[in-house]
Homo-oligomer: A and B are copies of this chain.
Amino acid sequence: MERKRYKIAVLGGTGAQGMGLALRLAAAGHEVTVGSRQAERARAAAAQLSERLGGRTIAGAANRSAAGAAEIVVLTVPYAAQQATVQEVRGQLDDKILVDATVPLVPPKVSVVQLPNGESAVAAVQRLLGDKVRVVSAFQNVSAQHLGELDHEVDCDVLICGDDQAAREVVVGLCQDIGLRGIHAGPIGNSAAVEALTSVLIAINRRYKVAGAGIRITGIGKK
């Protein structure tokens, strides 16, 4: 079955996680625009990524403009910038899917679980945006470094939380497009587990002196 080709904006696409996702999504045939607060920076990152892709081109634009033109908006900013970025683009998100990869890490103790108000940071975004925007949380546990290496098979599942099952299903499809296994993990509030798990993975990276510990779900058939 041929998959749908989406217009996707990756906000925070100048960071390592955003660049890795933009690269893989574009390589899979999606029409990708990298977003940043400054259009200049977005275009510079986009040019750099396009060069790595050979034939395909990634565009760059300011966040609002990138989000406005997209069907799916992916958010990959640091936690400190999450709320501000959402506020910046909220007028552009109605009836779209917002895929939020934000992990509420609180430097310097990034290996310690510190959920804001004891709950998922992405669930707070869903509340802020209301029912018109279908918020899906994903990609928090995937190593940015591994994402950026196109030839590297990423040995990590993507736990996908969201209150709208059809929106989750779209993100499961995006995962498949870029060589990852996406797994339905329940409503948006369950993202608390996934966000918290990232701090555990950082703790494991330190303890075992590795760079990109990940997770696999077992018992549901072949990975």
Chain A: residues with CB nearer than 8 A to chain B? 111-113, 115, 117-120, 143, 155-156, 159, 183-187, 189-190, 192-194, 196-197, 199-201, 203-204, 207-208, 210-221
Given A190-B200, A204-B185; A218-B156 close (CB under 8 Å): yes
Whether A190 lies near B117 (C-beta < 8 A) is no
Q: Which residue of B lies closest to A187 (CB)?
A: B112
B190, B192, B215: the one contacting A215 at CB < 8 Å is B215
Q: Which residues of B contact A194 (CB under 8 A)?
A: 200
SS of A interface (majority): mixed
B113, B118, B120, B215: the one contacting A217 at CB < 8 Å is B215
Q: Which residues of B contact A200 (CB under 8 A)?
A: 159, 185-186, 190, 193-194
Whether B199 lies near A190 (C-beta < 8 A) is yes
User: Complex Cα distance A205/B116, Å?
Assistant: 28
Q: Which residue of B lies closest to A198 (CB)?
A: B193
